[in-house]
Structure 1
Amino acid sequence: MRKTDGLFKLLGLCLLAGILVAGILFPVVGAAGVASNKASETVDSMSAELANVPPPLVTTITDSAGHPIATLYDQYRIPTASAQINPAMKWALVSVEDKRFYDHHGVDWKGTFRAALSNSTGGDTQGASTLTQQYVKNYLINVIYRNDPVGQQKAQEQSVARKLKEARIAIQLETKMDKDQILTSYLNVVEFSRKVYGVGAAAQTYFDTTADKLTVPQAALLAGMVNNPPFYDPWSHPERATERRNLVLDRMVENQKLAPEDAAKFKTEPLGVVPGGPAKPASNCTGAGPENGFFCQYVQDYLLTNGMTKDDLYTGGYTIRTTMDQNAQHQAKISAEAQVHKTQKNVANTLSLVRPGKDRHEVVALAANRDYGPDASQGQTTYALPSDVSNVTGAGSSYKIFTAASALEQHKVGIYSTIQTPQSYASKVFISGRKPGCPQVARGTWAYCLSNYGEDVYGPSMSLQQALATSPNTGFVILEEQAGMGPVLDMARRLGMRTTMASNAANGGAVDPGNSNVAYRMPQQQYFGPGGVAQAGLGAFTLGVSPTSGLEMANVAATIMSGGVWCPPTPVAGVTDRNGKPVKVSEAACEQAVPEGMANSLAVGMSRDDTDGTSRQAAQSAGWTRPMIGKTGTTQDSGSAAFIGAVPQMAGAAMVFRPDNPVGGLCDGAGNVTPCGDGNMFGGKAPARTWFGAMTQIMNGQPVIPLPPSDPAYEH
């Protein structure tokens, strides 16, 4: 090397040293100028973020008894206190990353100047960062900028400016935190590859142990990884990981924290990590398993709808105690599978259960015949079948509840009043497209024609109570004319169909797969009402032809059994934050949806379905004897069917439908339901059997409570 080269390098070192010292000291000596003030403010701001922005933690979801059922997280991290970390882990890290950690005040000047000179003169890139500086960098990358690739890039770029800022923050931290706090904080924030963060999570997922029980070779492996987690991943690169672990053991010997003979022995040991990769729980609702996953999914959907962000939910470290009753959930799952095989293609059987009440409607079970999970070949799905608006072909005649309720509220009829139920009927109020045999109402429009199922099944008239039990189509379309489409639609919304009525009327094309008319993409409240596809609306609404949420139908029954009080179907019993403090969940307020006397009268009107109505056979087969309300429903060609029922303590809705391809029927028989052309499915079959099968077990041992008496104002 020429003398001039050495002289220039020495001058460069002196100049760079001067820049570093001046840059680090200027916040203390109060350097003048706008640039200096802004730089100082930036450092103060970043220091504050390190102090005030907590690292992402795991959110835990439990059942109503507090037993964990799932974890949600973006970074798998188990907070670990200093006393919970084996000293071997701390010394392994210090020995390999910053052996003068306990001597400096945040910056190792000798190493910094050496690295700065090498980088500025084109030599090998060197870090020379202390553990305090590494803590700053890791916090910026893994916490503050975890969702900001540009910020992460800036936090680790090889530049003097970045090093300077990092050094100043490190110095500030050392005035606010002692060495053990810094070391513990570092060990809680650093990544150990594969979304495993912090030594607590690493000890568990790598070695199935806790941080306080880490052995010296285990600690050495983890300490060696922090330099480059993917590069030293013990599953992907075991040879590299072994070589790095052994280097750490040597450094511990050099630092006089390990005897040479012990290091030699530890080097002969295998890595000892759990086979197949980190043993960490699922990061989403698949971790709740095939039985509880649908409930977990609804908890997530509910919180996101009511003000919480997904980022907060997956990083906040909350404990969410749900309203899920484990026994009810299990019985609901068993009953759903008893009617439809879990691997049956294109058939879903769901059961949603809600506890009535005048201050809360708690969801206690959300089950399906299908398992919750990602493996479609095993019949699994992650679609929210029991809670979402998943049944696109409808709940059939169970929607007659809304027509009856609207007519009762307007005193058009009482539960014991006689209504007309002709075998066939042509409505001139609800116009439709041309149909053979239907009279023309006006130029280009025809009457809405319909008939009751079967022949000579119904008489020409009957009481509303009997009609609710036996379900004649014509009687309820006539009632719908008398009540008015607008009030009927509003009644459906008020009693509980909030999300359903706001959803797309076609919801994927079920109403008319080949129609691209914007009318088929309207919310149902508008589609069936004035201004929808027909000037006066569609009379078929009362026959339940539109997409439906099983959970909301269950909540309708809960509203009726709560004296007409609607409450949002909540799956949340309570939420606490990472510090154990209660967190208020934003939920819609309960409403007196309909008068209490009217709701009680409607309950009495619906009380005969299980004794002399369409669900009688299913009720008898289950040995059912309790007072209850019920209503079956079946859509055209038996494409879907439903049963809505409740006792004073529990309300529920069971629905069977085709979730993947909604066109066609369903056939019931031989202990299973299958897709078919001309179906034979009815609400009194698989849906009613599902409801009674679960409810007989759930209600076993609970008191028999009578239905509330009807109000004379709604009887005739």
Structure 2
Amino acid sequence: MLKLIGLCVLAGVLVAGMLFPVAGAAGVISNQASETVDKTSSDLADIPPPLVTTITDNTGKQIATLYKQYRIPTTETQINDAMKWALISVEDKRFYEHNGVDWKGTLRAAVSNTTGGDTQGASTLTQQYVKNYLINVVYRDDKPGQKRAQEQSVARKLKEARIAIQLETKLNKMQILTGYLNVVEFSREIYGVGAAANAYFNTPVEKLSVPQAALLAGLVNNPAVNDPWKNPAKATERRNLVLDRMVDNQKLAKADAERFKGEPLGVVEGGPKKPASNCVGAGPENGFFCQYVEDYLLKSGMTLDDLYTGGYQIKTTLDERANHEAKVSAETQVKKTQDNVANTLSLVKPGKNRHEVVALAANRDYGLHADQGQTTFALPSGVYNTGGAGSAYKVFTAAAALEAGVAGINTPLPVPDFYTSSVFAGGGNKCAPTGPPLRSRWYCLGNAGDYNPAGGVMSLQQALATSPNTAFVNLEEKVGSTGPIVEMARKLGMRDTMASNLGGGTVDPKSDNPGANASQLQAFGPRPGWPGNASFTLGPAPLSGLELANVGATIMSGGVWCPPTPLTGVTDRDGKPVPVKESPCEQVVPEGLANTLAVGMSKDSSPGGTSFAAANGVRWNRPVMGKTGTTQSNGSGTYLGATPQLAGAAMVFRPKGGNGGLCYLGPGNVNTRCENMFGGKTPAQTWFGAMSKILEGQEPLPLPAPDPKYMGAGR
């Protein structure tokens, strides 16, 4: 009796469902229900399915894919008869006869399910399209929404049926079939038949054979259970069922079906063939560049979800040959598995309209296996060198002195062996340890080497080449405070670096830790009653190697700063250009100042300069501006160098931090067991080793001509 009552109620519901189009027009369905159905229909039309974003190098060669759902869009013409009839035969035999809902099949299934017979679904392909679109597209990040889209209730089935009927008035059958085959999941985050054909059989969708198409058509019913790698017997059984249904539907000869049943599944070995879904897919060499592309786009305003689902084509500025040479040179100097030693090289192309990033490399491979020397930290581009740049920051002191007119590149500077600053020591001459930058009021220092220049003085150009500490603290005094110097660092390119705190992280104003609650610009700059922290010229704080490379590009571009961009162009899924918000280029210092500073830095690779041995080791014979840097206790080293064609910064540092220095025992033999590293060793050797290969065959270009106005002091 209860079953009979249930069947009567069900029959009434189904009759109402079959009258949906009429009832809707007559206003029988409530306005609220109609609005819900209309909104869902609108979502199906307005919310596009997630697609794969592709990243290429500067030639258009693919280097990586980013995605949440692996999907290769398939057009109507790509779906061959084998795939078309395999799916229709097993899922919806009357697909071309109904108007979105197969009421005959629905009534049959309802009776069977209600009376305790075999459980039957009876959903048409149009209804399945609606459900799969809601689950895989509209509610893909909404678990409650996905649950609602597949709950076993009459109300849900009726709403789904009405949407299916509406859909059939807007799309033809082939459009519906194509839409379904583009959204349905084929297990393991493989969505759509285009991706499935590639992942399962390494073949384009239009070339799927009958047994291949039958396997895929059989999967959609229950992808996990019918997985051919986990359950090959079940997958074979399901494939063969599809072949039988094709015979029943008169779309396949029985003899052919029997022959196909005897064939192996034919899927690729070891699991589905699909690309990595993130920058790991760019490989050990190109992964760091891919990571910078991602970081750059997120900083420009794109969301992570949009980037990984938007189906963008991103053409980058990556020069794979240059990146390879940078990687080889970095790894030649420091082994990839060397514990707590990172060696990076970042290269930027100078220009007055763009500063294109050409290469981002490290001795370590980009990847997830730390025991194999891999990392996903953005070592060449992020603010990860917590050891500091050392004396490479003397470039900013020199530039600020030129801008203030207190020195030119030929101005003689005193070079005592030991110096206590009368300006930065709070007015006294007492020598005491400097302590934390925000608290110290005393500043004294000595030189790392024995200079003894003639007359106790040397020109600023000589000082840039030989790097005596005392000369540059004296120059800071001439500038008057660190204010113009730290601002010069920011202007020339250290934007993210100077905005970070003394740990290299994001500033936290609520922190009680003075190393965390202020930016480097604030920490090293002047405050009321104090002219600033003079140690800034010795580069003791965290920095980005890419930004240091961009400083070289700014100087070599006549003082024009541009953001270091990794992008050539971005297009959307329809091939339309996508504007990317990038900071405009700025003339940050006069062109004459930049040109003169480049000449002032041109003696570092000459005899007596700190990078001479490295340059001479590759028989360097090109004009180049350069500056080495070494931090306290030899804990890190840098080399900033630039030619008119290319600027770059090499850094060796301890990525895990910790106390102690770096030990240089020759190329390929660097560790943390002693303290004798200098910027002229591993960093300069990395830079010259790569650049000598990258620029091979290109004509040597001269440095820009200096401006007499910046040759001496007293303007």
Q: Contact 1:431–1:538 at 8 Å: present in 2 too?
A: no
Which stretch of the first structure deviates more once superposed, 323-332 or 535-544? 535-544
Shift of residue 120, structure 1, vs aligned partner? 6.6
Please state whether the residue corresponding to 1:353 is helix, strand or coil. Answer: strand
Instruction: Confirm whether residue 169 of structure 1 aligns to residue 169 of structure 2.
Output: no
Shift of residue 438, structure 1, vs aligned partner? 3.2
Shift of residue 446, structure 1, vs aligned partner? 5.2
Please state whether the residue corresponding to 2:33 is helix, strand or coil. Answer: helix
Q: Contact 1:506–1:521 at 8 Å: present in 2 too?
A: no
Corresponding residue for residue 567 of structure 1: 562
What do residues 502-535 of structure 1 show as CA deviations (whole Å, max 9, x unaligned)? 11212379xxxxx973344422111212359x94
Shift of residue 119, structure 1, vs aligned partner? 6.0
Instruction: Confirm whether residue 655 of structure 1 aligns to residue 648 of structure 2.
Output: no
Cα 1:95–1:714 shift into 2, 3 Å: same
Corresponding residue for residue 600 of structure 2: 605
CA–CA distance in structure 1, aligned partners of residues 363 and 334 of structure 2: 6
Instruction: Confirm whether residue 360 of structure 1 aligns to residue 354 of structure 2.
Output: yes
What do residues 388-418 of structure 1 show as CA deviations (whole Å, max 9, x unaligned)? 1111010100000111111110101111111
CA–CA distance in structure 2, aligned partners of residues 275 and 128 of structure 1: 35
CA–CA distance in structure 2, aligned partners of residues 439 and 227 of structure 1: 74
CA–CA distance in structure 1, aligned partners of residues 684 and 568 of structure 2: 29
Which stretch of the first structure deviates more once superposed, 422-431 or 114-123? 114-123
Q: Contact 1:507–1:521 at 8 Å: present in 2 too?
A: no
Instruction: Confirm whether residue 489 of structure 1 aligns to residue 486 of structure 2.
Output: yes
Shift of residue 296, structure 1, vs aligned partner? 0.8
Shift of residue 26, structure 1, vs aligned partner? 3.5
1:344-423 to structure 2, matched below 5 A, reads 344-423=338-417
What do residues 175-215 of structure 1 show as CA deviations (whole Å, max 9, x unaligned)? 11111111111111111000111111111110111212212
Shift of residue 39, structure 1, vs aligned partner? 2.1
Cα 1:525–1:167 shift into 2, 3 Å: same
Q: Contact 1:220–1:245 at 8 Å: present in 2 too?
A: yes
Q: Contact 1:495–1:556 at 8 Å: present in 2 too?
A: yes
Q: Contact 2:483–2:525 at 8 Å: present in 1 too?
A: yes
Instruction: Confirm whether residue 312 of structure 1 aligns to residue 306 of structure 2.
Output: yes
CA–CA distance in structure 1, aligned partners of residues 119 and 16 of structure 2: 19
Q: Contact 2:183–2:192 at 8 Å: present in 1 too?
A: yes
Shift of residue 5, structure 1, vs aligned partner? 4.9
Instruction: Confirm whether residue 586 of structure 1 aligns to residue 545 of structure 2.
Output: no
Q: Contact 1:431–1:536 at 8 Å: present in 2 too?
A: no
Corresponding residue for residue 461 of structure 2: 465
Which stretch of the first structure deviates more once superposed, 51-60 or 286-295? 51-60
| Residue of structure 2 aligned with 1:242, choices 194, 212, 236 | 236
Shift of residue 456, structure 1, vs aligned partner? 4.4
Shift of residue 122, structure 1, vs aligned partner? 7.8
| Residue of structure 2 aligned with 1:542, choices 519, 526, 537 | 537
Corresponding residue for residue 175 of structure 2: 181
Q: Contact 2:420–2:430 at 8 Å: present in 1 too?
A: no
1:115-264 to structure 2, matched below 5 A, reads 115-116=109-110, 126-264=120-258
| Number of residue pairs aligned between Structure 1 and Structure 2 | 701
Shift of residue 27, structure 1, vs aligned partner? 2.9
Question: In angstroms, what is the RMSD of aligned CA positions?
Answer: 2.3
Shift of residue 677, structure 1, vs aligned partner? 4.5
Q: Contact 2:451–2:468 at 8 Å: present in 1 too?
A: no
Instruction: Confirm whether residue 11 of structure 1 aligns to residue 8 of structure 2.
Output: yes
| Residue of structure 1 aligned with 2:333, choices 335, 339, 343 | 339
Q: Contact 1:340–1:672 at 8 Å: present in 2 too?
A: yes
CA–CA distance in structure 2, aligned partners of residues 425 and 541 of structure 1: 16
CA–CA distance in structure 2, aligned partners of residues 341 and 22 of structure 1: 74
What do residues 640-669 of structure 1 show as CA deviations (whole Å, max 9, x unaligned)? 000000011110000111112342111112
Shift of residue 435, structure 1, vs aligned partner? 13
CA–CA distance in structure 2, aligned partners of residues 439 and 364 of structure 1: 42
Shift of residue 462, structure 1, vs aligned partner? 1.0
CA–CA distance in structure 2, aligned partners of residues 632 and 559 of structure 1: 18
Instruction: Confirm whether residue 477 of structure 1 aligns to residue 473 of structure 2.
Output: yes
Amino acid in the other structure paired with 2:410: Y
Shift of residue 318, structure 1, vs aligned partner? 1.1
Instruction: Confirm whether residue 328 of structure 1 aligns to residue 325 of structure 2.
Output: no
Cα 1:249–1:601 shift into 2, 3 Å: same
Q: Contact 2:430–2:442 at 8 Å: present in 1 too?
A: no
CA–CA distance in structure 1, aligned partners of residues 263 and 12 of structure 2: 49
| Residue of structure 2 aligned with 1:557, choices 548, 552, 555 | 552
Shift of residue 231, structure 1, vs aligned partner? 1.5
Shift of residue 65, structure 1, vs aligned partner? 0.7
Q: Contact 2:247–2:253 at 8 Å: present in 1 too?
A: yes
| Residue of structure 2 aligned with 1:47, choices 41, 50, 53 | 41
CA–CA distance in structure 1, aligned partners of residues 416 and 706 of structure 2: 27
What are the ranges of 5 or more consecutive residues in structure 1 without an aligned counterpart?
510-514
Cα 1:262–1:200 shift into 2, 3 Å: same
CA–CA distance in structure 1, aligned partners of residues 441 and 299 of structure 2: 42
What do residues 245-304 of structure 1 show as CA deviations (whole Å, max 9, x unaligned)? 111111111111122222222222221111111011111111111111111111111111
Amino acid in the other structure paired with 2:339: K
Which stretch of the first structure deviates more once superposed, 289-298 or 517-526? 517-526
Q: Contact 1:155–1:162 at 8 Å: present in 2 too?
A: yes
Corresponding residue for residue 95 of structure 2: 101
Corresponding residue for residue 112 of structure 1: 106
| Residue of structure 2 aligned with 1:507, choices 496, 500, 504 | 504
Q: Contact 2:417–2:450 at 8 Å: present in 1 too?
A: yes
TM-score (norm 1): 0.94
Q: Contact 1:392–1:662 at 8 Å: present in 2 too?
A: no
Amino acid in the other structure paired with 2:5: F
Corresponding residue for residue 689 of structure 1: 685
Please state whether the residue corresponding to 2:295 is helix, strand or coil. Answer: helix
Cα 1:402–1:13 shift into 2, 3 Å: same
Q: Contact 2:182–2:191 at 8 Å: present in 1 too?
A: yes
CA–CA distance in structure 2, aligned partners of residues 571 and 556 of structure 1: 16
Instruction: Confirm whether residue 668 of structure 1 aligns to residue 667 of structure 2.
Output: no
Amino acid in the other structure paired with 1:213: K
CA–CA distance in structure 2, aligned partners of residues 60 and 171 of structure 1: 36
Q: Contact 1:317–1:578 at 8 Å: present in 2 too?
A: yes
What do residues 100-123 of structure 1 show as CA deviations (whole Å, max 9, x unaligned)? 101001001122234445667787
Which stretch of the first structure deviates more once superposed, 395-404 or 84-93? 84-93
Amino acid in the other structure paired with 1:88: A
CA–CA distance in structure 1, aligned partners of residues 512 and 637 of structure 2: 27
What are the ranges of 5 or more consecutive residues in structure 2 without an aligned counterpart?
none
Corresponding residue for residue 512 of structure 1: none
Corresponding residue for residue 300 of structure 1: 294
Corresponding residue for residue 630 of structure 2: 634
Shift of residue 583, structure 1, vs aligned partner? 1.2
Please state whether the residue corresponding to 2:365 is helix, strand or coil. Answer: coil
Cα 1:287–1:488 shift into 2, 3 Å: same
Cα 1:405–1:26 shift into 2, 3 Å: farther
What do residues 303-353 of structure 1 show as CA deviations (whole Å, max 9, x unaligned)? 111111111111111111100112111111111111111221211111100
Q: Contact 1:116–1:160 at 8 Å: present in 2 too?
A: no
Identity of counterpart residues, as a percentage?
A: 65
Q: Contact 1:322–1:572 at 8 Å: present in 2 too?
A: yes
CA–CA distance in structure 2, aligned partners of residues 474 and 123 of structure 1: 93
CA–CA distance in structure 1, aligned partners of residues 440 and 389 of structure 2: 28
CA–CA distance in structure 2, aligned partners of residues 479 and 94 of structure 1: 81
